[in-house]
Amino acid sequence: MRDPLFQPIKINALDVKNRIYMPAMHLGMANNYEVTDQIIEFYAERARGGAGMICVGYATVDELSGNSLNIGAHKDEFIPGLSRLSKAITAAGARSCVQINHAGRYNMSFFLNGKQPVAPSAIASRMTREVPKAMDMDDIRQTIDNFAQAALRIKKAGYDAVEVLSGTGYLISEFLSPLTNQRTDEYGGSLENRMRFGLDIMRAIRGLVGKDFPVMVRMNGNDFMPGGQGSGELKLYARALVEEAGVDALCINVGWHEARVPQITAAVPRGAFAYLSRGIKEVVNVPVIASHRINDPDTAREMIADGMCDMVAMGRGLIADPYLPEKAEDGREEEILHCIACAQGCFDNLFKLKHVECLCNPKAGYECEGACTVSETPKKVMVIGGGAAGMNAAIAASDRGHQVTLYEKGDELGGQLYLAAAPPGREEFAELAYDLETQIYTRDIDICLGQTVDAALIEKEKPDHIILATGATPMTPPIPGMELPHVVQAWDVLADKVYTGKRVVIIGGGAVGVETALLLAEKGTISGETLKFLLVNKAETPEVLYEMATRGTKQITIIEMIGQIGKDFGKSTRWGMLQDVDRYGVQSRLAAKALEITPTGVKVETPDGISEIPADSVVLAAGSRSESRLAEVIKQTSIPFDIIGDAKAIGMAFDAIHQGYRAGMGI
């Protein structure tokens, strides 16, 4: 049987070579709405990697619909840049598409030179805290025409299709939802009226682009918003889009930006939202594209084969590895560098007004720097440390043509990636460790496990260049009672090297402390497999099952000196982790200083005074310190060297991987 992932498919009259669709994602790479070389090279690389269809954007339809970091489609002057991008994508073998959108109340006056954002009703969002202007009928008619004119520009620029974003909490979905649409005219009230704005836009677009040009819609399968829209109304909207407005394909999104259900983070199981695309597919007769957390070919092909969707949207999966489609089609799936849903470079960067990068792929966003070139003077390179930084340094140096030997004192590669993978919902970090190890083994890199490097070994091997990536060690704070037998390190808990009692106090509320707390909080809860068994057999009520899934056997308290926990998580990860802290009943004592560990607990000082928290086990999560003692030995040899990752300065996995890549490329 032929691989369902690589069967061709038609959208209207357009032939697409496979079922892999790269959805539109804000890259933060445009310059005053203009397409840049950075954008062109980013997408050209994904097209060369084998994606069937690539959608860029979103692109603006008027000056209130986005900001200057978006691609512009609201003026004719942007057509030449759009055309350059479409030609680059199609020349590299993929079909091209542009998503057009209006942010509505999600826009901010900061980006609009003080102008007020617009929306169906004057209701502020939790994201912006700004009250938008309620659109009058002239505003509505003009915006509908703006969408249609933008779509026509997309066609003139040579794209194969246009997609309209009708979800995620942006303008069209604001009209759709009773949560944000409190109008009393023909565009508000009943579902028929609330659908009118979106349907009018699609009809206007069809009228300008013609019957043969593919028109697609990206819409929610569920808003996940209290008081918003569930799958029932959205199925009716999907049917209306196809039957009444002539839409040719639907790409199913999930949630609004304000929704409190995780959508793209590692806590979301792979393919978790396939049920939503299935629900839409059952009521329409056009191709349906599933979205979110589809980062490996097996998940994708299973969803298609099982009738959950017709195509799969792989966005961050193709940021992490542009050549995922080619590798899958060629039978080289073990070489894929999988997205681990950390969101550190792709999503968190946007909050910082930085362009998209990737923790897993340090080349993402830097395609304009060109392909790696082989050094004219190959060197003998010694990389010391087999964690994320060291492995990436070894890979990059090898690609530069150097003779690389990687030394790791432990018995496996991966380092702290395996500690990061221990908490619930973070297992993908172990996937990254495996992927990087595979990249090492597919290259001509010598690997020495269980090998401690010292002056004698350096003298014996005589490398031309050394990269020191020896990581960090956990800190032991100077608190009386540290020597007691019930005191353990968080790293040992995460590595499953120690047991803890029922009452656990964790000293330190940074990322490691929170992750350790959540790992311990799940002890005694039921597994997903058991949950399904009990649910299907109606052994317990849903309320009891929820309790069994979120209440373990340990009582956990985090002590943190500052006024918040988890401050060193990325923005898109932190809120979900803190939800779990609350959901699993983990207690936090903020602005609390640990004074002493006693045989029965931990004495703490807070603004309210001194008290003792009972504890059967005390876990130290007080940070880590760089392990770079070997640097002094290397300095004495006069051999050029770099210090990278935590050995240089304590940071995140993102920092380690990017430093490693740059160090290897710089030799």
Model pLDDT for residues 458-483, shown as the tens digit of each residue: 999 999 999 999 999 999 999 999 99
Greater confidence (280 vs 344) lies with 280
Q: What is the mean pLDDT of residues 317-346?
A: 95
Residue 374: count other Cβ atoms within 10 Å of its Cβ.
9
CATH for 487-622? 3.50.50.60
Please tell me the CATH code under which domain 372-474+626-665 is placed: 3.40.50.720
Q: Give the pLDDT score at 348.
A: 85
pLDDT score, position 577: 87
Instruction: Kindly state the average pLDDT of the residues 73-100.
Output: 98
Between β-strands 9-11 and 14-16, what pairing exists: parallel, antiparallel or unpaired? antiparallel
Quickly state the pLDDT bin for 418 (edges 50, 70, 90).
Answer: very high
SS3 letters for 152-210? HHHHHCCCCEEEEEECCCCHHHHHHCCCCCCCCCCCCCCHHHHHHHHHHHHHHHHHHHC
Q: What average pLDDT score do residues 529-543 get?
A: 96
CATH 3.40.50.720 domain position(s) in the chain: 372-474+626-665
What own/partner pairs with CB < 8 Å and gap ≥ 24 does 421-425 have? Answer: 422/494, 422/495, 422/496, 422/515, 422/519, 423/494, 423/515, 423/516, 423/518, 423/519, 424/267, 424/518, 424/519, 424/522, 424/580, 425/265, 425/266, 425/267, 425/518, 425/576, 425/580
pLDDT at 352 over 90: no
pLDDT-based confidence at residue 113 (cuts at 50, 70, 90): confident
By the 8 A CB rule, do 465 and 667 touch? Answer: yes
Ranges of H-type helices in 306-454: 316-320, 324-329, 348-351, 388-399, 417-420, 428-441
Nearest-CA neighbor of 265 among 40, 155, 429, 379? 429
For 602, phi then psi, to 5°, come to -130, 125
Mean pLDDT across the chain: 95
pLDDT of res. 571: 79
Q: Are 628 and 648 in contact (CB under 8 A)?
A: yes
Decide which of 224 and 372 is more confident.
224
Task: Considering the chain, tell me which residue range(s) the CATH 3.50.50.60 domain(s) occupy.
Answer: 487-622
Residue 129 — left, alpha, or beta (φ > 0 → left; ψ -120 to 50 → alpha)?
left
CA angle 102/80/73 to nearest 5° reads 5
Confidence of residue 72 (pLDDT cuts 50, 70, 90): very high
476-505 residue pLDDT tens = 999 999 999 999 999 999 999 999 999 999
10 Å CB burial of residue 334 (0-12, 13-18, 19+) is exposed
Average pLDDT rounded to a whole number, residues 138-165: 98
What pLDDT does 1 receive?
Answer: 66
pLDDT band at 109 (very low <50, low <70, confident <90, very high): confident
Residue 146 has what DSSP assignment?
H
- What is the pLDDT, as a whole number, of residue 439? 96
Residues sharing a CB contact under 8 Å with residue 352, sequence separation 6 or more, in sequence order: none
User: CA dihedral in degrees (62, 118, 220, 85; nearest 10)?
Assistant: 20
pLDDT tens digits for 19-50? 999 999 999 999 999 999 999 999 999 999 99
Q: Which two tokens stand for residue 520?
A: 């311990």
Check whether 274 has a pLDDT greater than 80. yes
Positions of CATH 3.20.20.70 in the chain: 4-339
The span from the CA of 503 to the CA of 556, in Å, is 6
- Confidence at 592, pLDDT banded by 50, 70, 90: very high
Break the chain down into helix, strand, coil percent, rounded to 5: 35, 20, 45
DSSP string, 243-311: HHH---EEEEE---TT-SS-SSSTTSPTTTTHHHHHHHHTT-SS-EEE-SS--SHHHHHHHHHTTS-SE
pLDDT of residue 351: 81
Q: Would the pLDDT of 567 be above 90?
A: no
**Backbone angle region of 356, left / alpha / beta, with phi > 0 → left and psi within -120 to 50 → alpha:** beta
Mean pLDDT of 514-534: 95
Percent of the chain topping pLDDT 70: 100
Q: Considering only the top CATH level, what class is 4-339?
A: alpha beta
Which of 111-115, 624-628, 631-635, 643-647 has the weakest average pLDDT? 111-115
Q: End-to-end CA distance of the chain: give it in Å, rounded.
A: 47
Q: What is the pLDDT of residue 267?
A: 86
Residue 254 clears pLDDT 90, i.e. is over it: yes
Residue 236 has pLDDT above 80, yes or no: yes
Structure tokens given for 375: 């050094």
Give the pTM.
Answer: 0.94
3-state secondary structure of 406: strand
pLDDT above 70: residue 632: yes
